[in-house]
Amino acid sequence: MELTALKGIGSKTEEYFKKLGVHSQEELLEFFPRDYELFFPPVTVGEIGYKTFAAVRGVFTQDLFQRRVKKMTITTAQFKDEIGKTIKVTWFNAPFMKDAVHPGQLYILRGRVSRKYGVLQLNQPKVYTPEEYAKKMNSMQPVYPLTKGLSSNLIAGAVRQAIEGDAFAKLDKEDPIPGEVRVKYGLCKKSYAVSNLHFPESKEAYMAGAVRMSFEEIFLFILSMKRNESDQKTVSEVRISNCEQTQAFLKQLPFSLTEAQKRVIGEINTDMMSGFVMNRLIQGDVGSGKTIVALAALMNAAYSGYQGALMAPTEVLASQHYENITRMFKENGIDLNVALLTGSMTALEKRVVYDALESGRIHIIVGTHALFQEKAIYHNLGLVVTDEQHRFGIKQREALAKKAADGVQPHMIVMSATPIPRTLALIIYGNMDVSVIDQLPGGRKPIKNAVVDDSYKEQAYRFIEKEVAKGHQVYIICPLVEYSEGLDAQNVTDYTEMLRDVLDEQISIGMLHGQMPNAKKNEIMTRFAEGKIQVLVSTTVVEVGVDVPNATVMMVEDANRFGLAALHQLRGRVGRGGNQSYCIFVCNNHSKEAMERLEILKTSNDGFEIASKDLEMRGPGEFTGIRQSGALSFKNFDIYRDADIAQKAIEAVNDYLSGRLRLTKSEEELLLERTSLEAGAVLL
């Protein structure tokens, strides 16, 4: 049903919704909040610290003051907390506030915190009586992903209308989860789930809805994978042997391969000589040496007469792979021709690469999605390697694989730094073989870890200044891109400005987030890699970043909002050089459970162990917060948080495929329709 059928949504607003991937009322109903506005107990002025959002209990010390600046009305006041500390309060274009509040009366102000020359200020706060605020303390208000032209309130209003309409009424009639499965696993109806994910009646109702929608997504995904996979391996004409030149290259490297790297190289060599198409996933922590393993396979392909392709998710990472490979080849006298192909290259530069690629003069090609564009024609592609594989879709990988000669299917390696426990990897990746590099190269100094609260901030900033003074660099990670009303979490935009106020003015500070144009992201990461930016404030987009051996500090704000596996991967961005490195996890949730979970990072550097403990400690009981980055790009399902849901979903899929489920004709038709749509739609 059309969005414009909803009151208040015209053609212009409809276009804004389309930018968020919402084209109909049906899609709007499943466009769930990215977070929830929770009303935490108010703090004193002194407890605000470095928060970007706060609620303060106190009184106005005098009448509000108003002045006009051009066409704007600015209302200001001094607000005193219960222990006598004051904070300046400002409203813009809200002249009514002057008569809405009274000095000496107790209020709770809740709003955005800013700092001007070290002085705290509360901007555009909402005003509550203590009684009003107490009622709000138990509610969960939706906060939606936004784009220019849409507010969270506007989206919430549209959703409320859709819930009253025909699209919502059809949810249970067109539920893809068979009734027998719902009953067996205690899943709520879809209408109940959708309603309570947008506007939770209670935390319990929200949880029931979250479990239900996560189950649906992984159930349909696994079923579509099972229907499309074959028990028979595909015969391959591509025979790639373990060449002497590759063996000699590995022996003369200035470092020794770990036993895990040697084992995985052996598994790959066996696959590529087996007569069947290799389809292998290589898992390993950040810094475990996956790239040298892939390079050995690419060299063997080249020396066996085939071309190899290495696809990276960003231009910066592709360029770094290219530069590292060409440097190692030059240092070791390897005569293979390596080329780079990215979207930002000029038409002439691309043409030169296209010609060399088609003629076979290029042995190994490194690049981004440009590798599978129409103009890229390969001479005899035999091996495809994709780095950080969760950033590419199934169709993208297939498009690159189809670049081989007619009837020839190249061998495939996909690499991931996401430490998924092996049992779950086998469920999710279906018929792929899984290799694990479970050792880190020796000689690196262990990273020193600290789990702290806001009270440590001042010390942290002085420590960062000392590290920068030594010539080192720093990452600071925030969960949000920009200020979001009601969310008590740090954002990159405000944090960057705040740092310029609290750090030495000589320090170069940069900002990076996923909403930036690719060219801008590449520019920022390149400047950081070159040392021109000393402190980089970023979202988790740096998780798939370049290698910056000079970076010695990783500080993660609101660390309690991330999964442990994501934090572990972020930690892997430092400690890559010879200098002592540090990781500071700032926990703003002072609960014993949150602190205990983060303490795991202090006692373990094993990504697989951390992921397993994360599964044990979080379970399905924590659905709010920043989604876990990594293995698969789902809307609702999270591979770490929802591990037990995945186990139940695979049971249900097996029951269905074995005929143990009793389905009605309409249930069977719905499943067939939904799984045909699902195949290839989820990123791997």
In this predicted structure, the answer to whether residue 392 has a pLDDT above a threshold of 70 is no
Taking the chain, what is the end-to-end CA distance rounded to the nearest angstrom? 30
So what's the pLDDT on residue 165? 93
In a domain, 643, yes or no: no
So what's the pLDDT on residue 682? 42
Between 378 and 497, name the one with better pLDDT: 378
Residues 133, 151 within the same domain: no
So what's the pLDDT on residue 489? 75
Residue ranges making up the domain that contains 134: 39-138
Residues 9, 102 within the same domain: no
Q: Are 557 and 477 in contact (CB under 8 A)?
A: yes
Q: Assign 684 a pLDDT band (cuts: 50, 70, 90).
A: very low
In whole angstroms, what is the distance from residue 570 CA to residue 458 CA? Answer: 22
So what's the pLDDT on residue 625? 42
In whole angstroms, what is the distance from residue 260 CA to residue 281 CA? Answer: 14
Beta-bridge mates of residue 437: 284
So what's the pLDDT on residue 589? 65
Beta-bridge mates of residue 683: 393, 633
In whole angstroms, what is the distance from residue 245 CA to residue 266 CA? Answer: 16
In a domain, 587, yes or no: yes
In whole angstroms, what is the distance from residue 537 CA to residue 499 CA? Answer: 9
Q: Are 494 and 114 in contact (CB under 8 A)?
A: yes
Q: Dump strand ranges (E) for 285-432.
A: 307-311, 338-341, 364-367, 381-386, 411-416
> Hunting for tokens 């994910």 — which residue is that?
197
Instruction: Supply the DSSP symbol for 43.
Output: B
> What average pLDDT does range 511-520 have in this prediction?
85
In a domain, 677, yes or no: no
The neighbour count for residue 254, using CB atoms within 10 Å, is 7
Residues 403, 491 within the same domain: no
Which residue among 583, 604, 625 closes a domain?
A: 604
Q: What is the CATH number of the domain that holds 119?
A: 2.40.50.140
pLDDT tens-digit series, residues 472-513: 999 999 988 876 665 667 889 888 988 988 899 999 999 998
Instruction: Supply the DSSP symbol for 491.
Output: B
In a domain, 100, yes or no: yes
Q: What residues contact 120, with CB distance under 8 A and at least 6 apart?
A: 45, 48, 87, 88, 113, 114
Pick the range with the lowest mean pLDDT from 61-65, 403-407, 426-430: 426-430
Residues 9, 83 within the same domain: no
In this predicted structure, the answer to whether residue 437 has a pLDDT above a threshold of 50 is yes
Amino acid at 344: S
The neighbour count for residue 248, using CB atoms within 10 Å, is 12
> What average pLDDT does range 567-594 have in this prediction?
82
pLDDT tens-digit series, residues 7-66: 989 999 999 999 888 999 999 999 999 888 878 889 999 888 777 788 999 999 999 998
> What average pLDDT does range 460-473 have in this prediction?
96
- What does 276-325 look like in DSSP terms, one character per residue? B--EEEEEE-TTS-HHHHHHHHHHHHHHTT-EEEEE-SSHHHHHHHHHHH
Q: Are 495 and 478 in contact (CB under 8 A)?
A: yes
pLDDT tens-digit series, residues 630-643: 445 578 887 767 77
Look at residues 127, 129, 57 and name the one whose alpha carbon lies nearest to residue 87. 57
Helix or strand or coil: residue 212?
helix
Residues 499, 370 within the same domain: no
Instruction: Supply the DSSP symbol for 380.
Output: S
Look at residues 402, 307, 317 and name the one whose alpha carbon lies nearest to residue 356. 307
Residues 193, 292 within the same domain: no
Residues 338, 213 within the same domain: no
Tokens coding 557: 């704000």
In a domain, 284, yes or no: yes
In this predicted structure, the answer to whether residue 261 has a pLDDT above a threshold of 90 is yes
Between 455 and 530, name the one with better pLDDT: 530
pLDDT tens-digit series, residues 598-647: 888 887 777 777 777 766 665 433 444 444 444 455 788 877 677 788 88
In a domain, 631, yes or no: no
Instruction: Supply the DSSP symbol for 234.
Output: P
Q: Provide the number of structural domains found in the chain.
A: 4
Q: What is the CATH number of the domain that holds 562?
A: 3.40.50.300
The neighbour count for residue 375, using CB atoms within 10 Å, is 13
Which residue among 558, 588, 604 closes a domain?
A: 604
pLDDT tens-digit series, residues 162-205: 999 999 999 999 999 999 999 999 999 999 999 999 999 988 99
> Hunting for tokens 């740090």 — which residue is that?
490
pLDDT tens-digit series, residues 302-359: 999 999 999 988 888 898 899 999 999 999 999 999 999 998 899 999 999 999 999 9
Residues 456, 331 within the same domain: no
So what's the pLDDT on residue 14? 93
Residues 111, 163 within the same domain: no
> What average pLDDT does range 111-127 have in this prediction?
83
In a domain, 219, yes or no: yes
In whole angstroms, what is the distance from residue 426 CA to residue 633 CA? Answer: 17
Q: Are 410 and 372 in contact (CB under 8 A)?
A: no
In a domain, 668, yes or no: no
Tokens coding 490: 């740090």
> Hunting for tokens 């005003």 — which residue is that?
127
Q: Burial code of 568-601, b = ≥16 C-beta within 10 A, e = fewer? A: bbbbbbbbbbebebbbbbbbbbeeeebbebbebb
Which residue among 162, 193, 228 closes a domain?
A: 228
Which helix H or strand E contains 390, and what residues bound it? none
In whole angstroms, what is the distance from residue 680 CA to residue 684 CA? Answer: 9
> Hunting for tokens 């004409």 — which residue is that?
237
Tokens coding 35: 């977070």
So what's the pLDDT on residue 422? 62
In whole angstroms, what is the distance from residue 609 CA to residue 658 CA? Answer: 34
Residues 498, 592 within the same domain: yes
Q: Are 649 and 218 in contact (CB under 8 A)?
A: yes
| Helices (runs of H) and strands (runs of E) counted in the chain | 24, 21
Residues 284, 415 within the same domain: yes
Residues 129, 77 within the same domain: yes
Q: Are 216 and 177 in contact (CB under 8 A)?
A: yes
So what's the pLDDT on residue 429? 65
